[in-house]
Structure 1
Amino acid sequence: MSSLFLTILLTVLGPIFATSTGDLDAVVVVFRHGDRTPIKPYPTDPYGNRSYWSADWGMLTNLGKLRHYHLGQWFRQRYSDFLPRIYSEKDIYVRSTDVDRTLMSAESNLAGLFPPVDTDVWLGGFPWQPIPIHSIPETMDAVLAAKKPCQRYDNLMRKLFETPYFRNISHINHDLYAYLSRYSGSTVTNLKQLEYLYNTLKIEVMNNFTIPEWARKVFPDKMKPWAELSFATMTFTDELKKLKTGPFFNDLLKYFNNRTLTNKTSQYYSPKFLMFSAHDTTIANLLNTMGAFEYHCPPYTATIIFELRKTPSGGNFVNVFYKNSSEPAPVRVKGCEFDCEWENFKRILGFYALPLDKWDLECSNYLILAVDSLNFFILLGAVSGAVMAVTGVVLLTKRRSRRSEMYSQLPDEEYA
């Protein structure tokens, strides 16, 4: 190869090589669980009998376990020079939502990522080792499951679906909702309920079941775009983004910030690899907050990868990837380049980040809730006023009626 051609090649591909071979300092992966059975069959479901399925409702299937095992092997290959093959709690921390299918997915993934070697072998011929997976009840989890109760978030969601945009969507889908309700036997009146049914039908098709004729008329084409839109609704506005993903991004930024510190005296408590096992909604919410969600239903094992890297001059930048197929695709955080400088990354996502104490305050702040409920109180006041007015008219009419019974007007009194 001529030196001139080599120079040109390095000039063109240099930035790509720098990104892929830069000094990696920390990795955070967030993935959806593997394939599962339907959470609950619809009333007229021909496959609603448990005997059709290899696992109970909403549970991970053998294919789901295998997919995550292979994803763990992919992590091992990608980070072979970064993550030691010998397991240590100093290197990796794993957290899952408190759901069987996500816990089992994390276990399957770790089996592929850390097969026991050397001193990790504890039972000959058994290529698996126990690795801690941390979790808390969903109703207490505002970071990963994002299901800790938040009244303000619920109020904002209710107001969102009362906007002209979503009212029009309900109007457009009136006939589709009625059709799905009639033939499925379940109530379908909104995007979430449509997506729930769409997901069940999709699972049945993926398992080679023949869905009913009525379903084939609307699945997937007529249902798919609305199911995909459903995944964007939970973080449709900046306020919804903050309340739904703010605690996660607060922890992510705090973790990366600790990793950038020159004096890493607490590195023992700051592993280089964080793994989060979650759901399709988690993937959609995080992508949407970053301004990178292209409407779709995140597939099984869909994974967001955050990589914190160092520049030769000692600075830091972040790469984000989305892996929903064989190879990860670069993700551009809105307002930043792919090689997003750490300070810019921190500034952009810091807008949405919420520490748990502030999240709790915003969720329970009665002044904020009162502002959100202002329309309700205005309506209540208007109704109360109308009731009082009607009551007044009725009382006045009765009073005049009683007067007319006791008093007779004189002939010329009309002009008095």
Structure 2
Amino acid sequence: MKLINIFSLFFYQIILHDLCSLASSSLSEKRKHLDRIIVVVRHGDRAPLFPFAFDRDRMNELWPNGYGYLTSEGRTRMYRIGQFLRRRYSYQFPGRYISPRDVYIRSSTIPRCLESSQLIAAGLSPPIGVWQWKSDIGELWQPVPIFTVQRWREALLNPSSNCELAFRLFERIRNSPVVKNYLLLHQEIIQNISCITHENLRDHREIREFVDNLVSSKHHGRRLPKWCTANVYNQLKEIFDISLRFDYTGEIEPELRRLRAGVLMNEIFKGLDPDIDPYRSRLSIYVTHDSQLLHLRDALGLDMNSVSLMFGSMLMFEYNKQEDSVHLYSANVPGPMDRITAEELKIPVCEKNLTRIPLGYLQTKYKHLFLDLDEFDRQCGNSNDGKQPMDPYL
């Protein structure tokens, strides 16, 4: 009973916080009919992926949920994102209720994405009426299917899935003149940090993994090491952001756009079309990583200057068949309890950067990027007889 009370208190506190914004956010939405809705979202706030070698014992105490797993802030954020999606889209469904049968949720197989998927589902589809299956907990939560596949075969949502060609291109980025010249410009601070911490930071990826720890600690209000002054942190954060841009856009290796975003692009633009798959769920949610979202934004041609995506960042594709119009929205939420709002994006495939574009036009414009899984394997040169090395950044 105590567990149920704690569970209830967690949900009710979040619900009460959102009541003030419920009316304004729902009334502001245009009540247009949507035939298909596709949401691609980054997982919630997480702990660092690795402990600092020089401070391992203290780090273990600071992150009791485990490295790379969702924190309490991340759980709160993803539950509220589910509530946001319910407010935004429930009017599209009978009885203004999104049931577990109305939504398809696909997740990267990494635990923080699976956890995020469950929390989104809990906020999106609380049990009401016939969906309540038991007193106490059955009035607050119900099971919603979450779909995933093995990590090494997850070309849809995991940019480190098995692709021999992409691995070679990824390695070429590490040794490219662009990356080497950039690191030379920041050689002094890299060497100083390596000396202070006794970390061997040899390339931009090792630097990124190291700085990720600082970024996660600062994000969660943890005390940073004394040597990490505001000036040092800002310099390292800049290297961190540029490192993401090197690896997870086609800026250096344009072919990565198709290899790492093509399967997801194919899924989105075929999934938006009711004529291709009339039995598909009207609402589909894909839970992934910032690296995959970066690949997707880059493939769509969106502005990549603000390359660091916050936890819970979303792209929302909405399609109205009668108007034959696709609208694209972005949501980037600063904090777990901040109000969530959506900004409509201009789709950069026309000279005028229109916000409303026919689906067929977009399918034609992006067709050169589309890959199904068979074509993905063929272009990657995959033998499918082994698993890829694990990318620690994911």
TM-score by length of 2: 0.80
Same amino acid, percent of matched pairs: 24
Aligned to 1:330: 344
Q: Given the alignment of the two structures, is residue 50 of structure 1 paired with residue 63 of structure 2, yes or no?
A: no
Structure 2 matches for 1:211-290, cutoff 5 A?
A: 211-216=224-229, 218-233=231-246, 234-236=248-250, 237-257=253-273, 259=274, 261=275, 267-268=278-279, 270-290=280-300
Q: Is the 8 A contact 2:103 2:285 kept in 1?
A: yes
Q: Which runs of 5+ in 1 are unaligned?
A: 1-16, 367-416
Equivalent residues in 2 for 1:37-76 (5 A)? Answer: 37-45=47-55, 48-76=58-86
Bigger relative contact order (CA 8 A; separation at least 6): 2
Separation in 2, partners of 1:132, 1:91: 11
Could you tell me how far apart the structure 2 residues matched to 1:145 and 1:64 are?
Answer: 20
Cα distance in 2 for partners of 1:279, 1:88 equals 26
Amino acid at match of 1:328: A
Deviation at 1:83, TM superposition (A): 3.6
Change (3 A) 1:47 1:335: farther
Q: 1:74-153 to 2 correspondence within 5 Å?
A: 74-84=84-94, 86=97, 88=99, 90-126=101-137, 127-153=140-166
| Partner SS, residue 291 of structure 2 | helix
Partner of 1:412: none
Equivalent residues of 1:246, 1:352 under 8 A apart: yes
Give the structure 1 partner of residue 362 of structure 2. Answer: 345
| Matching of residue 177 in structure 1 with residue 196 in structure 2 | no
SS in 2 for 1:307: strand
Aligned to 2:20: none
Q: Structure 1 residue 86: deviation in Å?
A: 4.7
2:9 alignment partner in structure 1: none
Pair 315,248 (structure 1): closer, same or farther in 2 beyond 3 Å: same
**1:11 matched to which residue of 2?**
none
Aligned 8 A contact 2:163 2:382 in 1 = no
Aligned partner of residue 30 in structure 1, secondary structure: strand
Native 8 Å contact 2:325 2:357 kept in 1:
yes
Q: Which amino acid aligns with 2:366?
A: L
Find the partner of 2:199 among 186, 208, 223: 186
User: Equivalent residue of 1:142, what SS?
Assistant: coil
Please report how far the alpha carbon of residue 122 of structure 1 lies from its aligned counterpart in structure 2 after TM superposition. 0.5
Question: Within 2, Cα distance between the matches of 1:153 and 1:275?
Answer: 26
1:307-365 deviation per Cα after TM superposition (whole angstroms, max 9, x unaligned): 1123xxx3412111110023122222322311122122112222211111111111118
Note if contact 1:232-1:285 (Cα within 8 Å) is conserved in structure 2: no
Q: Do 1:232 and 1:295's aligned partners in 2 also have CA atoms closer than 8 Å?
A: no
Alpha carbons of structure 1 residues 196 and 83: separation in structure 2 relative to 1, 3 Å: farther
Deviation of residue 18 (structure 1)?
Answer: 12
Larger Rg, first or second structure (1 or 2) = 1
Hey, what's the Cα distance between the residues in 2 that align with 1:358 and 1:253? 17
Matching residue's letter, 1:362: Q
Residue of structure 2 equivalent to 1:400: none
Tell me the equivalent position of 1:163. 176
Alignment CA distance shift 1:48-1:243 (3 Å): farther
SS in 1 for 2:320: strand
* TM-score between both structures, scaled by the size of structure 1: 0.76
CA distance in 1, matches of 2:134, 2:100: 20
Whether the aligned pair in 2 keeps the contact of 1:235 and 1:244 (CA below 8 Å) is no
Q: What is the distance in 2 between the residues matched to 1:18 and 1:102?
A: 30
SS at match of 1:104: helix
CA distance in structure 1 between the aligned counterparts of 2:316 and 2:298, rounded to whole angstroms: 15
Deviation per CA, 1:35-59: give whole Å up to 9, x if none. 1111111212376442222411111
DSSP-derived class of the 1:45 partner: helix
In 1, distance between residues paired with 2:300 and 2:293? Answer: 11
Summarize deviations over 1:280-328 as a string: whole Å, max 9, x none. 1122111111121333321111111111123xxx341211111002312
**1:48-103 CA-partner distances (Å, limit 9, x unpaired):** 44222241111111221111111111111111211455554542111111111111
Per the alignment, do residues 19 and 75 of structure 1 end up closer, same or farther by CA in structure 2, a change over 3 Å counting?
closer
Amino acid at match of 2:63: W
Q: Tell me how far 1:112 sits from its aligned partner.
A: 0.8
Aligned equivalents of 1:97 and 1:88: distance in 2? Answer: 22
Structure 2 unaligned residues grouped into runs of 5+: 1-26, 334-339, 384-394
User: What secondary structure, in the 3-state scheme, does the structure 2 residue paired with 1:94 have?
Assistant: strand
In the TM superposition, residue 190 of structure 1 has moved relative to its aligned partner by: 2.5
How many residue pairs match? The answer is: 341
- C-alpha separation in 1, matches of 2:46 and 2:29: 36
Q: Which moved more, 1:178-187 or 1:57-66?
A: 178-187
Q: What is the root-mean-square deviation in Å for CA atoms of aligned residues? A: 2.4
Contact kept? 1:36, 1:60, Cα under 8 Å = yes
Q: Is the 8 A contact 2:39 2:316 kept in 1?
A: yes
Matching residue within 301, 317, 321 for 2:312:
301
Q: Give me the whole-angstrom Cα distance separating, in 2, the residues matched to 1:350 and 1:20.
A: 30
